[in-house]
Chain A
Amino acid sequence: MGHGRAVRMFQEKTHKRARSTKVLVSSLWIYIRRYLTPLILSTLLILFYSLTALVNPIIVKSGLNALNDLSYKSFFYGIGMFFTQLGTGEFVQIQKRVDPIPVGAQQFQQLIPLTIAFLAITVISWVFNSLSTRVTAKMNSQMLHDVRGDLYRKLSYSDMAYLKNEQSGNITARVTSDTTELATGIHLLTMLGSQIILIIGAFTLLMLQSWVIGLISLAAIPIAFLMSTVLSKFGRRIVLRIRRSFGSVSGKMAEGISGIAVAKSFNREEELATELRELNQKHYNYSKQFGMLMMFIMPTMSALSYLLFIVIIYASGGLNLPPGDIYLAVNLSQQFLFPIVMLAMIFPQMETAFGAMDRIIDVFEAKPAVADIEGARDLMEGDDSVSFQNVSFAYVEDNYVLRNINFTAKSGELIACVGHTGAGKTTLFSSLLTRFYDVQEGSILIGSQDIRTVSQSSLRQTIGLVTQEPFLFSGTVMENILYGAPNATEEDVKNISKMINADQFIEALPNGYDTVVVEGGKKLSSGQRQIITIARTMLADPRILVLDEATSRLDAYSESLVQAAQRELFKTRTTFVIAHRLSTIRDADRIMVIDQGKLAEVGTHDELIAKDGIYADLYKTYYIHQGLEDIELSVEELEPETLEKELQKPMVVPAGMAAAMPGPGKGSMHARKPDKKQDKKHLQEMKKAGKTEEVKKMKKNQKRKGGGMGHH
């Protein structure tokens, strides 16, 4: 694990902690408290283990000195002597051996208990160590599971804005890697105690042995720590570079794999391979630097301990210590040095753990999603009218996306909603009616009930939402359609698919309904993905339906087939359609025109055309452009297009994400999608500035040509 551990030691500090160590430790206590017994047990076991590690060299020393000591009678005398010496503090110095060692069975028998004690202590130490590993493993796994569960639940129910603003990868990192860091941190905490005890114990023994040797050993501390800080400073920089270059190799490879069809069709494989080779070489160069760093750490550490030996031997020679004592001093200096090196490695890791804890607490303290009020009742059946009463809403304070919306849809009515991108259509239906967010002013009523007074569960069972972005779960197509109605049968799925003309799409898939959706549906066309999401919502049979440009990704022919079928399904429910095609709009009972967050016009198609207002403009810009005649319009007459404002800002790849090693799982290849809601706010401003002129121009052109549209 050598390298891995070293890399961890050099982990960059990307996150400035918001909380003090004290606060973090006390929050940690919440979890530690639950596992107090195993924690204490494992700490005690490690403690015993550390102590046995100290006792063993003493036994060896006793053995060695006993051989030397003529007054030696038994092993127990040796041990007894040792403790007397400990007690009085005066170590009997040189005991010169005058006579040669008498050879005999008696001595041999006397040494047997010493050997047995040595063996016993080593075995016991092994048992302690093993037991503590076992206890820790059990505790750690349980605690990790607990923290993860709590965190996941908390995140699942947290504020929609928070979830939408964070990348799913970052949120996942909270749940997976941060929790792992935390568990490692707690494990280290138990190690920390035992290492400190080992250091103190070894040092005390050394001082008792000889204060000179004790002081000599002390000199190793600053050296070890100095080296650890210097190296971790360089190391951190190198590791950061390695991660970045790893990230770019990974990015290039990801692109090469996902763009393979393009590379192949333009015969550009070789060039891509060359580009990868260059990045690969760069990554190698940085890795080499890391190798250079390791080249110093490892030998310096071992050279340091050897140097300590030499100095101690010199000093012991000068102090006339007996061989056993010299052995003990040398051995203790090791027992002293190793935990110090360990500590030098543990501290940066503890810092990482605290950082993780900090982020985890962020999540626990984050705003929860809209909550049910106390005594929330289920939504009553019967009246499915929806009314917006004076609704105003802002995602960010005072930046209103919707203002004073007043509108009532009768039960069973089909309402089409039109307006420019960013006018607030999606917000009104997909975010507010579903109560993903609460309105700032006004209220939304279903029947006679304010949606804030009903249980969210019953609300969401009543409303079916098909979002713009078709999202599929991994699993088969069948499982995906069943997602919203787990009790439905496969027969039901097939029926509903047939009804909305989705079966043609699904049967065209390699394994029909059993086709497995991978990577969010990579192998499906976006049209296929979208039609599956429609089937999913329809199967759930909601009383109120919101379709947010639900067929925009289908080709025109399929779309018209699907829409024809949908008419049947709309009949029995209150339906809101955020529309992008003429055919949908013309089916609607009424059309709502949202403009810059306000309800601008309401009426039927003919009424609104007659009014010649915003709707008429929109209609001419967007909905009738595929006829043969508008080809006369030349490109020069068009307004120059621009980058949409928000998108112009370079997207920030959050630190850690770009360079983070892509996990073996999915998801690492997905580029960041611009945040829809953010875009819309900015777009709105842009539209205000640019669009109106363009619309006017368009109108002029259309007029000049004199309504060549068939249905006029």
Chain B
Amino acid sequence: MTTIIQDEKTPHDYGEDIQKKISTKYKTANRWFWSAFLRFPLRYLIGTILMAASTYASTKAIALIGDVIGIIQRNIEASVPIFSADFISTINWMIIYVVITFIGIGSSIYIWADTSFRVQRDMRQEFYEVIQDHSMAFFDVNDSGVLLSQGMNEINAIRMAFHPSFRNLLNSFFTIMITSALIWQYDWIIGAALASSFVFYFIIAWLYAARVGPIRRKLATDQADLSAISQEMFRGVDVVRSFDNHDKEIMKFNNKSEEYAVDMKREGYLSAFYWPTLITIVITAVAFGYGLFSVINGRYLNVGILISVVGLLLNLNRQHFMIPSHLIFLQAGLQNAKRLWNLMDFNDPLSQPENPVEADWDNDVRFNDVSFSYPGTEKEVLKNVTFSIPSGARVALIGGPGSGKSTILKLLLRLYDPSYGSIQIDGTSVDSMHTSYVRSNVTMVEQDIFLFSDTLRANIAFAKPDATDEEIKLAAERAQIATFIESLPEKYMTVIGERGVTLSGGQRQRVAIARSLLSEPKLLLLDDSTSAVDIKTELRLRYAMEELMKDRTSIVVTQRLTTLVASDLIILMKRGEVVDIGTHSELLQRCPDYQFMCQHLPMSESLGECEDVDVVAGGRK
């Protein structure tokens, strides 16, 4: 029965384990972040070379201004025509440099931007695919809104660390190096002073960024909290109003707003006196004085050199004022990468077996002394649960709140593995099977139906994307939803959800049933605890469920007396434990808990005294 998958004859390809792949490829958050350059090395290299070329050209053009003025002065002094040959050729060089600058800056920005957007696309996809692969344990502990924001905004932040921030930093670095080199040609002393001061400058700027960065991030969370407080209040305004709690809510908002204001002020104060700027100011001023002196004592041939030096320094001053904020972005990107990496590197309690096995689903399903607590919690929601379901049986699960009914369904889908004991199909433990294999044989119709905002067709065909129109129509008919769908103008192509029409609860349930019909499961799990309010919804649903349960093993969480009566087996749960197992009449005879429950089901009245137990009054007649 059980087949161990051998290397040479692999009956199923379960796809690769993406998390494993990513974590062996990049190993650490830092490597993942910097992998941007490894993903597209050639593009980044070309972008960098072009940037260096354009920076050289634009810096050189500024240096040439002094040269030209020097030529003009020389020509005036020598009383020769001002537009001499070397004047013209210098101007021509300037034009050439401007053209190089124009092309170089443009193309390097484009290549950097394009490549960084590629990186953003790929990292986002990677993040999504990895977390999607995590088991439900991950989604239980992570807020989906936060996950979304991380997948969207924080990936954006990582991209921004590369483009524009890293690009600009690199550009500033080139400008500093080239400026130092050019000034060195005129006057090595100023050049050397400049180059060494910038090492110092970068260190200070990095430290400064490390100080401002956290406040910026705090501001971002403040803003998010403020939104959350406000959203919550306006969504629940009738509750706030009916408890006359306005002042409390306003106070809550004001406190947060105050906090935001304080942080904003703090950030402003910090960035106001950004003293590293003084380093370059002093250098420029000293260079100016020193240059004047050099002209006087003849160290410089003419005023043009001074103009070039001062011009280059002032150009540098204009460039570097953005350095700290780009450093902040870079730091933020690194931190975001770390956060995302931690999510991707989730230590999943549920792992795929090394050698997945398969089983014959036309055999008994057995819970063998199963205990379970949700990952990260202490509370045991299932305690030593043991039962056996013969193939093809209709089983009803019943129990009060917190009895563990839905947990049993989740374990059967292998959304979680039992903490203790095992679930066996035909004697094979479920946790030795691949999750996709289990789920291709088990289907669950959950209580709160989730449909995608897509067409009805896509929703029904969700389990079987290659289903033909006939198959879809048949499934819809069997689920009692076809007539309704065909009455819509767009029929099966009607879009539902956020951007389309809204379905009633009963309609959603039947679409979900159609969806499950197409997946043709061996084992069907149905959570049907809340009952419909009006008779037509009720009836349609009952017919649809009837179709779905036909010819397969089914486990239904229900409180529908009709379903209970028709079940082959009823499992009564209470606080995580099995109280009794048997048919309706058996339980009604012997199980006080069941009698009590039945008394409290609304339909008990119509059932009346049809059994030898008085359901209403309880006990035997």
**In the assembled complex, which residues on chain A have CB atoms less than 8 Å from the CB atom of B253?**
148-149, 152, 175
A134, B272: Cβ atoms under 8 Å?
yes
Q: Is the Cβ of B149 less than 8 Å from the Cβ of A664?
A: yes
State whether the Cβ of A48 lies closer than 8 Å to any Cβ in chain B. Answer: no
In the bound complex, do residue B606 and residue A141 qualify as a contact, i.e. CB atoms below 8 Å apart? no
Stretch at the interface among A192-200, A489-497, A620-628: A620-628
Residues of chain A contacted by B148 (CB below 8 angstroms)? 250, 253-254, 257, 662, 668-669
Interface pair B143/A666, CB less than 8 Å apart: yes
Do residues B136 and A281 form an inter-chain contact, with CB atoms below 8 A? Answer: no
- Specify which of A108, A262, A288, A650 is in contact with B499 (CB 8 Å cutoff): A650
Task: Please judge, given known A-B contacts A64-B306, A67-B303, A557-B559, whether A667 and B228 are in contact too, CB under 8 Å.
Answer: yes
Interface residues of A in 681-712 (CB under 8 A from B): 694, 698, 708-711
Task: Give the chain A neighbours of B559 by CB distance below 8 A.
Answer: 555-557
Residues of the A chain whose Cβ atoms lie less than 8 Å from the Cβ of B140? 523
User: In the bound complex, what is the Cα–Cα distance between A77 and B352 (angstroms)?
Assistant: 86
Chain A residues, CB < 8 A from B310: 60, 327
* B83: chain A residues within 8 A (beta carbon): 317
Contact, CB under 8 Å: B164 / A67: no
Task: Give the Cβ gap from B36 to chain A, nearest Cβ, in Å.
Answer: 14
Contact of A262 with B450 in the complex, beta carbons under 8 Å: yes
Query: Within residues 129 to 166 of chain B, which ones have a CB less than 8 A from any CB in chain A?
Result: 129, 131-133, 136, 139-140, 143-149, 151-153, 160, 163-164
Per-position binary interface string of chain B over residues 228-258, scored 1 when its CB falls under 8 Å from any chain A CB and 0 otherwise: 1011111111111111111011100110011
In the complex, whether A264 has a CB less than 8 A from a CB of chain B is yes
Q: Are B261 and A142 in contact (CB under 8 A)?
A: yes
A651 touching B533 in the complex, CB below 8 Å, given contacts A269-B133, A270-B15, A669-B145: no
CB of B273 within 8 A of CB of A130, answer yes
Contact digits for A565-592, partner B, Cβ 8 Å, 1 yes 0 no:
0000000000000001111000000000
Could you tell me if B325 and A1 are in contact, using CB atoms closer than 8 angstroms? yes
Contacts of B249 in A (CB 8 A): 156
Instruction: Compute how far the CA of A292 lies from the CA of B114 in the bound complex, rounded to whole angstroms.
Output: 9
* Residues 483 to 539 of chain A near chain B (Cβ within 8 Å): 483-484, 486, 504-505, 507-511, 518-520, 522-523, 525-528, 533
CA distance A145 to B297 in the complex (A): 60
A357 within 8 A of B: no
Residues on B with beta carbons closer than 8 Å to the beta carbon of A527: 401, 529-530
Interchain CB contact under 8 A, B113 and A291: yes
Of the residues A486, A560, A642, A663, contact of B149 by C-beta under 8 Å: A663
Q: Do A138 and B268 have beta carbons less than 8 Å apart?
A: yes
Closest to A247 in B: B152
Task: Tell me which of A294-302, A346-354, A605-613 binds B.
Answer: A294-302
Complex Cα distance, B236 from A467, in Å, reads 10
Q: Once the chains bind, are A134 and B269 in contact (CB under 8 Å)?
A: yes
Q: Known contacts A254-B148, A630-B539, A639-B536; is A2 also within 8 Å of B168 by CB? A: yes
| A290 sits at the interface (CB 8 A) | yes
> B37: CB under 8 A from chain A?
no
- A218 beta carbon closer than 8 Å to chain B: no
Q: For the complex, what is the distance from the CA of A555 to the CA of B117, rounded to whole Å?
A: 50
Q: Are A505 and B402 in contact (CB under 8 A)?
A: yes
- Separation of A629 and B243 alpha carbons in the complex (Å): 45
Bound complex: CA of A549 vs CA of B600, how far in Å? 19
CA distance A300 to B538 in the complex (A): 69
Known: A130-B274, A250-B152, A641-B484. A306 touches B379 (CB 8 A): no
Inter-chain contact B243/A483, CB cutoff 8 Å: yes
> In the bound complex, what is the Cα–Cα distance between A554 and B529 (angstroms)?
8
By a CB distance below 8 angstroms, the chain B residues around A316 are 72
- From 254 to 270 in chain B, residues with beta carbon under 8 angstroms from any chain A beta carbon are 254, 257-258, 260-262, 264-265, 267-269
Which A residues touch B152, using CB under 8 A?
Answer: 246, 249-250, 253, 661-662
* Contact assessment for A249 and B124 in the assembled complex, using a CB-CB cutoff below 8 Å: yes
Are B272 and A483 in contact, with the CB atoms below 8 A?
no
- Cα A19 to Cα B498 with chains together (Å): 33
Query: Do B267 and A137 touch (CB < 8 A)?
Result: yes
- A287 beta carbon closer than 8 Å to chain B: yes
Residues in A with CB closer than 8 Å to B303 are 64, 67-68, 323-324
Does B105 belong to the interface (CB within 8 Å)? yes
Residue A655, interface by CB 8 Å: no
- List the B side residues contacting A320 at CB < 8 Å: 76, 82
| Closest A residue by C-beta to B262 | A141
A674: CB under 8 A from chain B?
yes
B230 touches A152 (CB 8 A): yes
Q: Which residue of B lies closest to A281 (CB)?
A: B121
Knowing A3-B164, A246-B152, A460-B244 are in contact, say whether A171-B230 is a contact too (CB < 8 A): yes
- List of A residues within 8 angstroms of B147 by Cβ: 257
**A456 to B498 alpha-carbon distance, docked (Å):** 37
Q: A701 CB to closest chain B CB, in angstroms? A: 9
Please, how many angstroms separate the alpha-carbon atoms of A326 and B377 in the complex? 76
Cβ < 8 Å to A, chain B residues 400-419: 400-403, 413, 415
Pick the residue among A156, A295, A327, A436 that contacts B106 (CB under 8 A).
A295
> Which chain A residue shows the least CB distance to B150?
A664
**A206, B569: Cα distance in complex, Å:** 97
Query: Is A268 touching B462 in the complex (CB atoms < 8 A)?
Result: yes
A669 to B231, CA, bound (A): 12
Of B227, B228, B242, B311, most buried by chain A (CB within 10 Å of CB) is: B242
Q: A261-B136, A640-B484 are in contact. Are A626 and B272 (CB under 8 A)?
A: no
Mark the stretch among A80-88, A116-124, A596-604 that contacts chain B: A116-124
Q: Determine if B354 is an interface residue (Cβ-Cβ < 8 Å).
A: no
**Which of A307-315, A392-400, A445-453 is the contact stretch?**
A307-315
Task: Say yes or no: is A434 at the interface (Cβ < 8 Å to chain B).
Answer: yes
Near A by CB (< 8 A), chain B positions 331-380 give 374, 377, 379
Report the separation of the CA atoms of residues A482 and B543 in the bound assembly, to the nearest whole angstrom: 44
Contact B238 A507 (CB under 8 A): no
Q: Mark B476-520, 1 if CB is under 8 A from A, else 0.
A: 000010011001100000010111111110010000000100010
List B contacts of A631 (CB < 8 A). 539, 542, 562
B91 with A310: CB separation less than 8 A: yes
Q: Could you say which residues of chain B place their CB within 8 Å of the CB of A526? A: 448, 530
Given known A-B contacts A144-B261, A156-B249, A280 and B535 have beta carbons under 8 A apart? no
**B484 near A119 (CB under 8 angstroms)?**
no
Name B590-610 residues within 8 Å CB distance of A: 597, 600-603, 605-608
Verify if A126 is at the interface (C-beta below 8 Å from B): yes
User: Cβ of A378 < 8 Å from any Cβ of B?
Assistant: no
Closest chain B residue to A294 by CB distance? B109
A254 to B149, CA, bound (A): 9
B264 partner residues in chain A, CB cutoff 8 A = 137, 140-141, 144
Find chain B residues with CB under 8 A from A653 CB. Answer: 498-499
Given contacts A101-B296, A583-B602, A710-B607, is CB(A175)–CB(B120) below 8 Å? no
Closest chain A residue to B546, Cβ basis: A631
CB contact list, B202-238 vs A, under 8 A: 220-221, 223-228, 230-238
Set of chain B residues within 8 Å of A511, measured between Cβ atoms: 377
Tell yes or no: B40 within 8 A of A by CB: no
Assuming the A-B contacts A504-B400, A650-B501, are A268 and B228 also in contact, with contact meaning beta carbons closer than 8 angstroms in the complex?
Answer: no
**In contact, A103 and B125 (Cβ under 8 angstroms):** no
Interface centre among A525, A555, A644 (most CB of B within 10 A): A555
**CA of A432 to CA of B281 in the docked complex: distance in angstroms?**
70
Bound complex: CA A693 to CA B145 (Å) = 46
A107 touches B (CB below 8 Å): yes
- Chain B residue numbers with a CB within 8 Å of A13 are none
Residue A155 at the chain B interface, CB threshold 8 Å: yes
- Beyond A137-B265, A261-B446, A299-B106, 11 additional contacts (C-beta under 8 Å) are A64-B303, A134-B269, A134-B273, A253-B152, A258-B144, A460-B241, A555-B401, A626-B538, A633-B539, A643-B501, A669-B145
- What are 19 A-B contacts with C-beta separation under 8 Å? A3-B160, A68-B73, A103-B297, A133-B268, A142-B261, A156-B240, A255-B452, A259-B450, A267-B436, A295-B106, A313-B68, A436-B238, A465-B238, A484-B243, A558-B401, A626-B538, A650-B500, A662-B152, A709-B606
Of all A-B residue pairs in the complex, the 7 with the closest CB atoms, nearest first, are: A137-B268, A508-B402, A627-B606, A115-B289, A291-B113, A119-B285, A665-B224
